[in-house]
Amino acid sequence: MPKTTPAPKEQPTKTWDRKDAPRYVRCELSKEQKASLAAWAEELEDIDLLKWLAQRIESGHVLSLKSLPTGYQASLTGDREASGHMGISLIARASTAMRTLYACMYKDEMVLQGVWPASGSLEELDY
């Protein structure tokens, strides 16, 4: 009969800490910025978006794109220290998946210019 491997001991459960709360970038576009985004996106080619996505992923970001009941949402989150945005998420929403990605790129490149001011979600709950 072959030997069996003993079951690994249970790892101690990490208790939730306030500092583990997600942090999100506050970047709501004004009417003028939305018009600028539309014109800017028309000038870009899909390869420009692909290059930006590759650069962000290679620098330690995680991209999530999902369908919502009304439109789409993308979140770009720093997953490693090298990203410069460790634990911070930049969110964009739009009517199509491609527009959502362009909106995320626009916020990162044109509005925030790589600097993501973030707040903890717990801080936003109280007045």
| 20 has a pLDDT exceeding 80 | no
Strand 71-78 relative to strand 61-68, pairing: antiparallel
* Residue 11 confidence (pLDDT): 64
What residue spans of the chain are helical by DSSP H? 31-43, 46-58, 97-106
pTM of the entire predicted model: 0.76
Closest listed residue to residue 99, CA positions, set 28, 44, 27: 44
- Whose structure tokens read 């003993």? 6
Strand 71-78 relative to strand 23-25, pairing: unpaired
* Residue 85 confidence (pLDDT): 87
Which pLDDT tens digit goes with each residue over 77-127? 988 888 888 888 999 999 999 999 999 999 999 998 878 887 655 555 555
- Burial label for 8, CB within 10 Å (0-12, 13-18, 19+), is exposed
Average pLDDT over residues 10-34: 75
Closest listed residue to residue 89, CA positions, set 102, 105, 76: 76
Closest listed residue to residue 99, CA positions, set 68, 56, 125, 62: 68
